[in-house]
Structure 1
Amino acid sequence: MLFQKLMQKVVEKGNLRLIGAGGRVYDCGDGSGERCTLRLHNRALEYTLVLNPPLYLAEAYMNGTISVEEGSLRGFIEMLARNYHVLENNRLVTLGFALARHTRHLKQYNPVGKAQQNVAHHYDLSGELYDLFLDTDRQYSCAYFRNGDESLEQAQADKKLHLAAKLYLNRPGLKLLDIGSGWGGLGLYMAQAGDCDVTGVTLSTEQHKLSCERAKKAGLEDRVKFHLRDYREDDNRYDRIVSVGMFEHVGKKNYREFFEKVSSLLADDGVFVLHSVGRVNDPGPVNPFIRKYIFPGTDVPTLGEVLPVIEDCMLTVTDVEVLRLHYAETLRHWEERFQANRGKVAELYDERFCRMWEAYLVGCEMGFRHQGLMVFQIQITKSATAVPQTRDYIYEWEHRHAGEASQAAE
């Protein structure tokens, strides 16, 4: 079968066994590591899978037309991730990858209405679903693992602490804007730890509803306001701006619009911290399965694509940090919790949904471990004197507030 020929060329290192729809067995790889056995239940897959393996393999698993009979989905995806460079250079699939690269700009159209549709596709799912795999604060972005053995709650508390330190909250009453405020946890933290007046904006109705409830419950509704609106519709001025996990949805062709708007919102002595998924290698299209089923409209930038636009908008980059395996560890925690609650997820949705999210969580984790994905944090100002000359203030803030973060994680 054609798919078997592709896998025998792609899997240079690993131990993969394929069982075709007719029962014929094929072995791929050098035999190293634990064997993973896949069975194809549809004869057409033996040929169609080669047309777009990243999309059609995940779809087939999601739809139950491929099953893992030995080993695990994690083992199979990791095997492919380790050999992905071979897949990208294979003549059978090169045309599909090239087409994806040349048409990706067509998928980055991002007006206000379209952006809200894309957000609703993912973030307006059942709130109960997110409680089954996220930390108790519902931080749905890369955590910060100082040592690597922290609990998910501690690592997410440390992420908020790390961002607050970079925002240089040097006086009470700072006006802070959170672009893409999620379920409100970061904004509430900034109000409590930094004594800020916080405005959060989200395009998710479910996130907005819960954020407002949380602010009221915490007695902070006078200092923390969440709005269901696009950041482009805001005309106020802010001393501090933070954006976590939102920039991936802006689209390359819209970077200038984003940074020009941020510049107009930011005070002359203000500080902006951008936290985003990125790539360490050449720009490329997002995994087609992720774009189609999980995050429509998403895009993953390189620093080389982002930094020139920031400079062209007359903004100053004052600090850059690359978090390499932090998101891989975050996703590992999420997937473990998801599997522990799989039965409850199936009750909310169905087995097809469970398989789709398995492929999403494990596939993204392996992207960070083996395929050049990372997270970057960029501190941006208008003035060279907006933050101190050295990074000591970051460490001093974290040291002063570390106890609060540990207490919040308990």
Structure 2
Amino acid sequence: MWSKALDHLLTHLFRHGRLRVTYPDGTTRAYGPGDGPQSAVVLHDPSLPRRIVLSPDMGVGEGYMDGTLTIGDDDIEGFLRLAIANIAAQGQPWFRRPLEALRRLRRRLDQFNPVARSRANVAHHYDLSGELYDLFLDEDRNYSCAYFARPDMTLEEAQAAKKQHIARKLLIEPGMRVLDVGCGWGAMGITLARDFGARVTGVTLSSEQHEIANARAARAGLSDRVRFELMDYRDVQGQFDRIVSIGMFEHVGVPHYDAYFGTVARLLKPEGIALIHFIGRAEPPGATSPWILKYIFPGGYCPAMSEAVGAVERQDLVTTDVEVWRLHYAETLKEWRRRFEANIDRVRALYDERFCRMWRYYLIASELTFRLNNQVVFQFQMARSQDAVPLTRDYLYREDADAEGRGAAA
């Protein structure tokens, strides 16, 4: 029964390229006209047809992790490119639409993140071995989208460019009090203290990040100007000249958007500026992949612009700039994957083969979601006052233009 249902699903989906599937009983069937890319999959577990029909993301992801679904030449990228392109073109068949509707209905429950649950969700991902992240991130441990201002940039250069771009949007001046919400391992906070003279408070719910960030600040001789607290953003008190948040809003959850932006408004001085950098979707609201929710980012969700803007509008905040980065994260993930795979033996020594396959699947699927499935990065600049930032965006690029002019004159 379930093999037949999977056969119907694949017949509906694959309208270009070709996918060959060997079922648990040894039967092989081909889907698609044969033009373009091709891939071959073997299902070794009799339960996989049912699991894939009920939840393709979960069934395929778990099957690949467990080794019960194998791909020709282990070309998971080729398989996912073919699958994502066909799914985007065809949409779900009628018999899967009720299941997708149920998944969307429960998304508010999936994204309900009170403090205790937020702390557990953060620990699931960010309290892994620090050595793991050293194996694929840049030297400054930026675990968010880099900014490839030039296509030939290294990852280190692109991450530095990202921080400089954000600092310019914040119009940082020496002595300003800055709050870094979801501070990670301290890269942005340390940069703002060291290079711009800011006094930074960073908050995180990850004990691993909290410890490493403070140790990094101490090694840099910046403990008097930047400190990192193990604290939920909702518990922060005081007033700040600037608020920055990079890659944290994806963990807030739609039920808490009003509380999040209400906290930003409460903590921001009347003349202050905030910059919120987050992954979103260039399409209507949806739901997070169940595989991602279970194994990678519990409670996570990448919102549509309409969901975030609506919450901002309900607070005492003015949106002063919105910037959309399209393929920058795809390029970032491509480099993370390259480094991860180059160090796969060291990852295996830290964890096991299943973990390696899980993270390889995560990195590749995430890159392809940005390339093929309308996922982007938003930067929302906001303030309490309309005149808190210049009237044009020239200030963001003036230094670059001046440098080019000096070079031409020389």
Instruction: Determine which of 134, 138, 146 is the counterpart of 1:135.
Output: 138
Cα deviation, 1:159-192, whole Å, max 9, x if unaligned, reads 10110010011x3100000000000011001112
Report the alpha carbon displacement of residue 400 of structure 1 after superposing the two structures with TM.
Answer: 7.7
Distance in 2 (CA, whole Å) between partners of 1:88 and 1:211 is 44
Which of 28-37 and 11-20 deviates more? 28-37
Query: What is the match of residue 29 of structure 1?
Result: 32
Q: How many matched pairs?
A: 401
Shift of 1:259: 0.7
Residue matched to 1:47: 50
Inter-partner Cα distance in structure 1 for 2:81 and 2:293: 20
Q: 1:218 to 1:399 in 2, by over 3 A?
A: farther
Normalized against structure 1, the TM-score is what?
A: 0.95
The Cα of 1:399 is off from its aligned counterpart by 6.1
What is the one-letter code of the residue matched to 2:168? A
Provide the identity percentage.
Answer: 46
Which shifted more, 204-213 or 21-30?
Answer: 21-30
1:198 aligned partner, one-letter code? V
Distance in 2 between the 1:114 and 1:51 partners? 27
SS of the residue aligned with 2:298?
Answer: coil
Alignment of 1:1-40 (within 5 A): 1-2=3-4, 3-40=6-43
Cα distance in 2 between the residues matched to 1:294 and 1:279: 18
Q: Confirm or deny that 1:192 pairs with 2:194.
A: yes
SS in 1 for 2:387: coil
Matching residue within 370, 373, 392 for 2:372: 370
User: What is residue 408 of structure 2 aligned with on the other side?
Assistant: none
Task: Give the equivalent residue in structure 1 for 2:105.
Answer: 102
Q: Which runs of 5+ in 1 are unaligned?
A: 403-410
Question: What is the 5 A alignment of 1:330-369?
Answer: 330-369=332-371
User: CA 1:397 to 1:237, structure 2 compared with 1: closer, same or farther past 3 Å?
Assistant: farther
Query: Could you tell me which of 69, 85, 88 is aligned with 1:85?
Result: 88
Correspondence for 2:407 = none
The equivalent residue for 2:128 is: 125
Match of 2:165 in 1: 162
What is the aligned counterpart of 2:391 among 389, 392, 397? 389
Per-residue CA deviations over 1:381-405 (Å, capped at 9, x if unaligned) read 0011111111121113566899xxx
Residue aligning to 1:295:
297
Residue of structure 1 equivalent to 2:275: 273
Question: Could you tell me which amino acid in structure 1 is paired with residue 339 of structure 2?
Answer: R
1:175 corresponds to which of 174, 177, 182: 177
Q: CA deviation at 1:81?
A: 1.1
Superimposed CA distance per residue, residues 344-379 of structure 1 (whole angstroms, 9 cap, x where no aligned partner):
111111111111111111111111111111000010
- The partner residue of 1:219 within 218, 221, 224 is 221
**1:252 paired to 2:254:** yes
- Identify the residue that residue 311 of structure 1 maps to in structure 2: 313
Q: Deviations over 1:5-35 (max 9, x none)?
A: 3222212122211111222211112213342
Q: Deviations over 1:187-233 (max 9, x none)?
A: 00111221100100010000011101100000000001111111111
Asked if 1 retains the 8 angstrom alpha-carbon contact of 2:13 and 2:91, the reply is no
Partner residue of 1:407? none
Structure 2 gaps of 5+ residues are 405-410
Tell me if structure 1 keeps the 8 A contact 2:37–2:82. Answer: no
Task: Give the secondary structure class of the aligned counterpart of 2:122.
Answer: helix
| Closer/same/farther in 2, CA of residues 64 and 93 from structure 1, 3 Å limit | same
Shift of 1:254: 0.8
Offset, 1:48: 3.0
Q: Which one-letter code corresponds to 2:342 in the other structure?
A: A
Does structure 2 conserve the Cα–Cα contact (< 8 Å) formed by 1:332 and 1:365? yes
Letter of the structure 1 residue corresponding to residue 266 of structure 2: S
Q: CA deviation at 1:78?
A: 1.0
Give me the TM-score of the superposition, normalised by structure 2: 0.95
Letter in 2 for 1:59: E
Amino acid aligned to 2:247? G
Question: Secondary structure at the residue paired with 1:385?
Answer: helix
Task: Report if aligned partners of 2:273, 2:388 keep a CA contact under 8 Å in 1.
Answer: yes
- Match of 2:315, as an amino acid? C
Shift of residue 87 of structure 1? 5.9
**Equivalent AA in structure 2 for residue 253 of structure 1:** P
Q: Deviations over 1:137-180 (max 9, x none)?
A: 110001111122311111111110110010011x3100000000
Shift of 1:92: 3.0
Report the aligned-residue RMSD. Answer: 1.5
User: 2: distance between equivalents of 1:10 and 1:166?
Assistant: 44
- CA contact under 8 A between 1:168 and 1:393: conserved in structure 2? no
Distance 1:301 1:261 in 2: 19
Distance 1:70 1:30, change over 3 A: farther
User: Residue type matched to 2:164 in 1?
Assistant: L
| 8 Å CA contact retained: 1:34, 1:71 | no
Q: Which moved more, 1:39-48 or 1:232-241?
A: 39-48
Q: What is the rounded CA distance, in whole Å, between the counterparts of 1:85 and 1:364 in structure 2?
A: 15
Corresponding position: 1:147 with 2:150: yes
1:71 Cα offset (Å): 6.0
Distance in 1 (alpha carbons) for counterparts of 2:135 and 2:207: 20
